[in-house]
Structure 1
């Protein structure tokens, strides 16, 4: 069971449904501050009460044999039945780590413990009943919480009202907004909206100074990407009362990593018995729909994926919707002779039952999509599938969209909404210099990578969907029914995930961003062609290190360092 700090006591999903130290992380010092803070974090410098003594600055970010920086979608044209290079690895992260051996795939008893703090009942809210005041309060709360994060991380004391006339520089916190809900932000049409507590809820037009600098951006990024809904800090003045001249823009602080006691990791990774790994690696397969080609509803790609899962016998198989897709060409024109529930039972539930009979140790998790016809809840955040009527076998867990859960100590977070495409479409990049509180900052060439920057938006904004208002639908992207009054359910939490899964129509990729593994497994099918899925192999920490930390180290909380010991393969189905 995961015991990451700042998290509620885990709820068992059953009831709901090598030896290296942690890299040093640097924390900025607020300009003008006379006192600094500790600048590094070892593998176990956390008080016994489980709460880190300070927020953590971003860890390493890397690219690994991945897709082009522009994230352009691939356009294969080979029919699924004629596909070549089946199960070929398209790219790998930490490819030097070994895959599970055949002997490690033997055994029918479950080897991992699944846990989650998700309460499914919170997702069964009434759709389209947002009240204006509740909506306003939810938006205000986002800004006020961002201000607390800035205050704690940067050591700031006070914030000003950006709409008030002033001849001196002030620091203001707010949400970036376009000229209108349907417009895209530009250099000359970006507004800042403050909360009622921080700035009377006013909006003010921003003017970016020619020599504006960005603070807390990755070294070498060359500027800052901005989008509607982005929470930022701005430093400058409103001299005439009509616009706010920005001389410095501050990014949201990085999210804290997750922690677990070494003794618990040691027990789960090296212990013997049920739901223990016995020193062997853990395996996870993740795929996102559609699960059948456009020309039929035979679900051959899903069958191929499950055949591979039956051979590999993973500890966990995660399937993200859509399953019975409302946008499927045959369903849209009514050329189908089964109800959505019957189609789900015959093509999906039956196949999952076959898999679980062949591999009883595999845990299956289903996460819906807004296009799923067998889920009546079409707003986002979205409630989980109801197992009643779908014929799902025992061993299948249904979780909401988005969701965060733990497999042993490893924290996974994922959503089936294509937030990456929306961010890339809505973002505009402002080139500017960088303000650093430390000398001799080393620039990382990967910090200019577009997809890494897009992933960093999600981590820094602490949200699975930080865009507001949600963009209108298009030919390539379905509209999103975003319920902002339930924004609490799309937050990433106070401590970050080790692995974040974000299926997108953009080309598949793997990244390490701020010590978090970010993966776009793409879709299992693209039209008539074969798509891809992701395979994770998480190796255990060194037993000797865990034993030493659990005894001599006082069993203090430690980071998971999954980015060092997890191999990720993007595989063609």
Structure 2
């Protein structure tokens, strides 16, 4: 009999007992938690789906996953012993990468420097052919608020307002200073301590240093960290391996082991800012007796006049979100993207299309080995910028609506490969006038809707230690809740790393991408003074749409999954009507989560 956590995590029905039992078997064999197994399954589906439809969750395919995990285990055991292998720096977490909580000021973040890496092509470059097409392009895979109708676009260009200063993103990368990082991390904790103090009306005398032995209970605000600074960023933590890191003001920057035995419902992850009540009786650990939640930001509001102008002016609105890569893994072919553009113009007709990178993926095999050839071009591109300018830009130019581009740190055509990330260079890449270039992350408004976008895979990188009711909740719900509570688009620290195996025997793996945080500028990756109406964070994991804390959270998935069709999200936004909105004083809440229908569709 499958446990409740397995049923919830994999969205199984009670009659799927054989599938649940197989999941329990795999967890026991490989020592995986239910969340680790879910991530392994999603990753396997993404890499193994070469047919028209993605792999279905059944006993047969779980058996294939078991074979895959066994092969990985055997390969890892056959590798050269650690002592004789020259390992790249990424084996140990980059000490200068310190994730941070943005503090809504002029703070910056430093990108982990990665050594020069020679990429070995995993596949030879094939002849250009059309990528595998989906049997039913545009098929609905998942719907949120299905009782609402699919609406036609208004046909009126929406009012676009950028809630960021683009000049702040033009900082120099790989120029991080340790003192600046330390100052930022301290301010992150101290500023959140002020928020907690003001919200709960605590007496400031109650706050103390958790590292000092005392018989008295105190309040403290700090950052969750692993038990050792050398712990790998992808290591699996547990309740016994969590420490609390203080600021220089609140505890001289020291760390103290946490005793969480008195808490029965929690979810903690490295980089999380928390507020605890407890005591340090022995000087060896801080026993937590109570946890105080970080207060949420307020929801956005608008005046009656502004909402009425959208109700009787622009009307309904349709927005499409899609994220790269836009080519199959076996070849750099943009045929599928061109077909998608035609579909947008002739069938979907959205008012706005928001497209996330990578557009030219630096990890693509043909980009890595330089074997690029595009049919129909009189002159073949000499640089990767030429690829974007000659192949990608003409496709984007055909879109007959407002287009917003958000880069990725995996984009080969951006000079700013750090998060937060500057926008694309319009002039260098030949980006057409109908396209707006925004930084990563970015907060902006379409009419009255506040949209927050971040192109850094928090859903894959955040690994929490959960107990009680939090463990039973969906992983995507929990992570979305953490992002909203922490007021940061990427609250994990240190950021995730992505590796690939090398074909050379003397190299075990190489760092090819990841969160690439530039810590001292992470203030640019924080929410503004209010929550967004719609929070969009693409992930390699399964596409979804959810409502968390009255925020519509959307993951459009990837446009291509290896060599088969992926997914995109279509959001139908109903025009505001004052008599249907909640009034707060003289202003009105947007309540987008009530009047937006979200369809996850196949590309």
Q: Distance in 1 between matches of 2:287 and 2:443?
A: 39
C-alpha separation between the residues in 1 aligned to 2:455 and 2:435?
A: 18
Q: Which residue is 1:47 aligned to? A: none
Structure 1 residues 250 and 474, CA gap change in structure 2 (3 angstroms): farther
**Residues 282-336 of structure 1, C-alpha deviations (whole Å, 9 max, x = no match):** 0101100001112222212211221121122211111000001101111112211
* Aligned residues: CA RMSD: 2.4
TM-score, with normalisation over the residues of structure 2?
Answer: 0.73
Give structure 2 stretches of 5+ with no counterpart.
1-7, 13-34, 53-130, 374-380, 502-511
Contact 2:307–2:578, Cα closer than 8 Å, also in 1: no
Q: Does 1:307 align with 2:342?
A: yes
Paired position in structure 1 for 2:465:
428
In 2 relative to 1, CA 198–190 (structure 1 residues): closer, same or farther, beyond 3 Å? same
Q: Who is 1:336 aligned against?
A: 372
Please name the residue that 2:119 is paired with: none
Asked whether 1:93 is paired with 2:137, we answer: no
Q: Which residue of 2 aligns with 1:284?
A: 319
Name 1:570's counterpart in structure 2: 600
CA distance in 2, matches of 1:430, 1:543: 42
Q: Match of 1:367?
A: 406
The alignment partner of 2:270 has SS state of coil
Name the CA shift for 1:92/1:385 in 2 (closer, same or farther; >3 Å). Answer: same
> How far apart are 1:253 and its partner, in Å?
1.8
Q: 2:559 aligned to 524, 530, 541, which one? A: 524
Matched, 1:212 2:263: yes
Provide the rounded CA distance (Å) in 2 between the counterparts of 1:157 and 1:542: 43
Q: Distance in 1 between matches of 2:430 and 2:147?
A: 41
Mapping of residues 424-463 of structure 1, within 5 Å:
426-431=463-468, 448-463=473-488
Mapped partners of 2:281, 2:573: distance in 1: 55
Deviates more, 1:367-376 or 1:248-257: 248-257
Deviation at 1:119? 1.2
Deviation of the 1:186 alpha carbon = 2.1
- Matching residue of 2:418: 379
Match of residue 244, structure 2, among 188, 192, 203: 192
Partner of 2:23: none
Partner Cα separation in structure 2 for residue 247 and residue 171 of structure 1: 10
Distance across 1 between alignment mates of 2:520 and 2:9: 40
Provide closer, same or farther for how the CA distance between residues 267 and 66 of structure 1 changes in structure 2, counting only shifts above 3 A: farther
Residue 485 (structure 1) aligns with: 520
* Cα distance in 2, alignment partners of residues 150 and 265 from structure 1: 33
Aligned with residue 132 of structure 2, among 77, 81, 85: 81
The TM-score, its normalising length taken from structure 1, stands at: 0.77
Query: Which stretch shows the higher mean deviation, 298-307 or 363-372?
Result: 298-307
Give, in angstroms, the shift of residue 462 of structure 1: 0.6
Partner residue of 1:467 out of 486, 492, 513: 492
Matched, 1:388 2:388: no
Residue deviations 1:500-521 (CA, integer Å, cap 9, x gap): 1111111111110000011111
2: CA distance, partners of 1:82 / 1:201? 55
Which of 587, 597, 600 aligns to 1:557? It is 587
Q: Distance in 1 between matches of 2:9 and 2:448?
A: 27
Rounded Cα–Cα distance in structure 1 between residues aligned with 2:500 and 2:557: 18
Going from structure 1 to structure 2, the CA distance change for 1:376 and 1:304 (only over 3 Å counts) comes to same
Aligned with residue 319 of structure 1, among 325, 345, 355: 355
- 66 and 571 in structure 1: CA distance in 2 versus 1, 3 angstrom threshold: farther
Q: 1:253 and 2:295 equivalent?
A: yes
- Give the 3 Å change call, closer, same or farther, for CA 448–317 of structure 1 in structure 2: same
Indicate how the Cα distance of structure 1 residues 544 and 234 shifts in structure 2: closer, same or farther if over 3 A, else same: closer
Kindly state the Cα deviation for residue 492 of structure 1 after the two structures are TM-superposed. 1.4
**1:151/1:543 CA distance change after superposition, 3 Å:** closer
Correspondence for 2:82: none
Distance in 2 between residues matched to 1:212 and 1:291, nearest whole Å: 45
Tell me the distance in 1 between the aligned counterparts of 2:333 and 2:344. Answer: 19
Q: Do residues 345 (structure 1) and 389 (structure 2) align?
A: yes
1:324-382 CA distance string (max 9 Å, x none): 11011111122115221121122221012222xxx2xx110001000111101011111
Structure 1 stretch displaced more, 520-529 or 150-159: 150-159
| 1:262 paired residue number | 304
Q: Give distance in 1, aligned partners of 2:299 and 2:187.
A: 23
Q: 2 CA distance for matches of 1:180 and 1:494?
A: 35
Per-residue deviation, 1:451 = 1.2
Trace 1:382-421 onto structure 2 (pairs within 5 A).
382-421=421-460
SS, match of residue 477 in structure 2: helix
Q: Is 1:203–2:255 an aligned residue pair?
A: yes
Say whether 1:175 aligns with 2:241. Answer: no
More helix by share: 2
Report the alpha carbon displacement of residue 86 of structure 1 after superposing the two structures with TM.
1.2
1:259-298 deviations in Å (ceiling 9; x for gaps): 1112101112313xxxxx1xx3101011000011122222
CA, structure 1 residues 180+474, in 2 after alignment: closer, same or farther (shift >3 Å)? farther
Match of 2:169 among 118, 123, 128: 123
Alpha-carbon separation, structure 2, partners of 1:150 and 1:474: 38
User: Which one of 541, 544, 547 corresponds to residue 576 of structure 2?
Assistant: 541
CA distance in 2, matches of 1:517, 1:148: 28
Kept after mapping to 2: 8 A contact 1:66/1:510: no
CA contact (8 A) 2:341 2:398 kept: no
Which residue of structure 1 lines up, in the alignment, with residue 124 of structure 2? none
**What is aligned with 2:280?**
238
How many angstroms does 1:390 deviate by?
A: 1.2
Matched residue SS, 1:292 = coil
Aligned to 1:37: none
